[in-house]
Amino acid sequence: MDVGFTELEERTWRAFLSANVQLLERLDHELQQRSHLSLTDFEILSELAAAPGRRLRMSELAERVLVSRSRLTYRVDRLAEVSYVTREECEDDRRGLFAILTDTGTEALEAATDGYLADVRTWFFDLLDLDELDVVNRVMARMDAKLSSN
């Protein structure tokens, strides 16, 4: 059984891996330079800001941010140290914890958002025309659906 790649597949795969790593590193670097938030921190604060009552169970937050629970715990600990989030025990489950976005965290998120959006536009959207954007959207949605179902 031949599972090798064609030359085009190899180039495409390598380009995808390289672009993905470089894009995430660039976004992370720019965020940290401007706002002292990592990309993961920004995603945590964004998810909490969008949640009802600005709170989520840690387990749900880990799924939404796509990081391990141990990494999430570490990042939430760091965000709590600077008063961007607080933690609260779940009344119905003593083992569960909520992460809650504070007003200070909301302010930090708001201060970081414009720069983050500009960076995403510069390093992602501005490099695609409308047809390419449509193709990338369809392909990524298809990949996400297949990976999520397994």
Q: Which domains does the chain have, with CATH numbers?
A: 20-149 (1.10.10.10)
pTM over 0.75: yes
* Beta-carbon contacts of residue 61 (< 8 Å; ≥ 6 apart): 44, 47, 48, 72, 76, 99
Contact 99, 85 (CB under 8 A): yes
To 10 degrees, the CA torsion angle through 112, 116, 143, 136? 160
Q: What is the pLDDT along the chain (150 residues), one digit of tens a residue?
A: 567 999 999 999 999 999 999 999 999 999 999 999 999 999 999 999 999 999 999 989 998 998 888 899 999 999 999 999 999 988 776 668 999 999 999 999 999 999 999 999 999 999 999 999 999 999 999 999 999 887
Query: What phi and psi values does residue 128 have, to the nearest 5 degrees?
Result: -120, 135
